[in-house]
Structure 1
Amino acid sequence: MKVILISNPTATAEESTLINNLFNEGLAFFHLRKPNASEHEIGALLQQIDEQFYPKIALHQHHQLVSRFNVKRLHYTEHQRKQATIAQLKDQKEKGFILSTSIHQLESLNQITEFDYSFYGPVFNSISKKDYQSVVPLDFKVEKHINTPAIIALGGINDKNIHQIKTMNFDGFALLGFIWEQPKNAIANFKIIQQTLKETYD
């Protein structure tokens, strides 16, 4: 089960320390998403993260930073995906980049190629965005599509509902609000997720 943590969209106190500690606790993948941050701000945050974790980090903005940091994961928003050409994406794949994107309608899976995985949601009511409500019924199941190797559940995921992710046929899930709503509890809440996963899937 692929577990991804998405960054708090705004700056968080002692953020780089928390990110390093989360990686040390076993975090597998981290998506650095800060829509309003400048290239300088994203670069400054990356400089404070232990470089051994760079291969586990995906950039949502300022993809050009890969020339300075050993980051091999690039995320494309829906807008970025529509602007990119197949040739550009294939070139990045040939250079060893792992590509991800986001979709909001499952029909979009039929239009996606060259991506290693895609976020889909909100699966549950969002924790961080109170008006971001679930778009799927509880008996929902993903129908896998050959063009997208993995589909990642996004939205409102916590220790109480991750058991539903597997029955919905997702390949993994992304965390955001459950970890960052109270940054002082980020490590403790991540450990709760780890324990719940062990109890649910082992």
Structure 2
Amino acid sequence: MIILLSPEQPVAHESAIVNTLLERGLSLFHIRKYQLTDVEMAAYVDAIDPDYRKQVVLHSHFHLANELGIGRLHVREEDRKQHKQQAFMTGFTLSTSVHTITTFNTLDALWDYAFLSPVFPSISKKGYGITHTVLHDLRLRRNPHVRLVGLGGIDEQNYGQVFTAGADAIALLGAIWNSPQPIQVFDTIHKNIHTEIHHEAK
């Protein structure tokens, strides 16, 4: 499974890229646009093909979810610690973020999956993950209820290490939005993952 996070700042042809990647096999698209007004958020979501609405995840503007036909919400770590997810525990599929495997292991089955980061030094957030990454901590995973999604610095060269370390999925950000050829980057990773899965199944 490949998840894509939106860039926080606008990127040229952003909606067209998202629609193309969903068409080409992107599993889920996370919208991180905290600064948008309600009207702007509705317009952003409307630019995504309705056929893929079930694969869209909101990081904010939760009060618009039903109106926009979105059934997936992502609760940030600081919000989870304040139990803000309690208002959305029914009717939505929830995901969250953690930054240590110890915290991941304590998550209950309420969460469909959790981002664990940074597995590598960040591409989009310069300096993040330079002194500490969590890739080698994945072997300490003890939580059978929640899927683990590696996030941070993942690109077409290193994504395989994340699956080998024990992640269920990967999340992309800078590898896509900082690339002059985002669709080709996605295609390379997506194709290789499916080729490897096919070989393992033989």
Instruction: Name the TM-score, length of structure 1 as normaliser.
Output: 0.88
After superposition, the Cα gap between the structure-2 partners of 1:185 and 1:64, relative to the gap in structure 1 and judged at 3 Å, is same
Secondary structure, counterpart of 1:141 in structure 2: helix
The one-letter code matched in structure 2 to 1:63 is F
Alignment match of 1:149 (pick from 134, 146, 150): 146
Secondary structure, counterpart of 2:176 in structure 1: helix
Alignment match of 1:136 (pick from 117, 130, 133): 133
CA distance, structure 1, for counterparts of residue 136 and residue 115 of structure 2:
19
**Higher alpha-carbon deviation: 172-181 or 17-26:** 17-26
Q: State how many pairs are aligned.
A: 196
The one-letter code matched in structure 1 to 2:192 is T
Contact 1:163-1:200 within 8 A present in 2 as well: no
**Higher alpha-carbon deviation: 36-45 or 62-71:** 36-45
Instruction: Name the TM-score, length of structure 2 as normaliser.
Output: 0.88
After superposition, the Cα gap between the structure-2 partners of 1:38 and 1:166, relative to the gap in structure 1 and judged at 3 Å, is same
Tell me what 2:156 maps to.
159
CA distance, structure 2, for counterparts of residue 106 and residue 140 of structure 1:
6
Secondary structure, counterpart of 1:79 in structure 2: helix
The one-letter code matched in structure 1 to 2:66 is S
Tell me what 1:176 maps to.
173
The answer to whether residue 99 in structure 2 is matched with residue 104 in structure 1 is: yes
Contact 1:60-1:74 within 8 A present in 2 as well: yes
After superposition, the Cα gap between the structure-2 partners of 1:85 and 1:63, relative to the gap in structure 1 and judged at 3 Å, is closer
Shift of 1:68: 1.3
Contact 1:117-1:151 within 8 A present in 2 as well: yes
Contact 1:152-1:173 within 8 A present in 2 as well: yes
Return 5+ residue gaps in structure 2 as ranges. Answer: none
Secondary structure, counterpart of 2:30 in structure 1: strand
CA distance, structure 1, for counterparts of residue 136 and residue 113 of structure 2:
22
Return 5+ residue gaps in structure 1 as ranges. Answer: none
| Post-superposition CA distance 1:6-60 (Å, at most 9, x none) | 1111112221111111111111111111232232222111011111111001000
Shift of 1:172: 0.7
After superposition, the Cα gap between the structure-2 partners of 1:56 and 1:137, relative to the gap in structure 1 and judged at 3 Å, is closer
The one-letter code matched in structure 1 to 2:98 is I
The answer to whether residue 48 in structure 2 is matched with residue 49 in structure 1 is: yes
The one-letter code matched in structure 2 to 1:41 is E
CA distance, structure 2, for counterparts of residue 145 and residue 40 of structure 1:
42
Tell me what 2:6 maps to.
7
Shift of 1:178: 0.6
Contact 2:106-2:143 within 8 A present in 1 as well: no
The answer to whether residue 115 in structure 2 is matched with residue 115 in structure 1 is: no
- Structure 2 counterparts to residues 58-137 of structure 1, below 5 A: 58-84=57-83, 87-90=86-89, 92=90, 95=91, 97-113=92-108, 114-133=110-129, 135-136=132-133
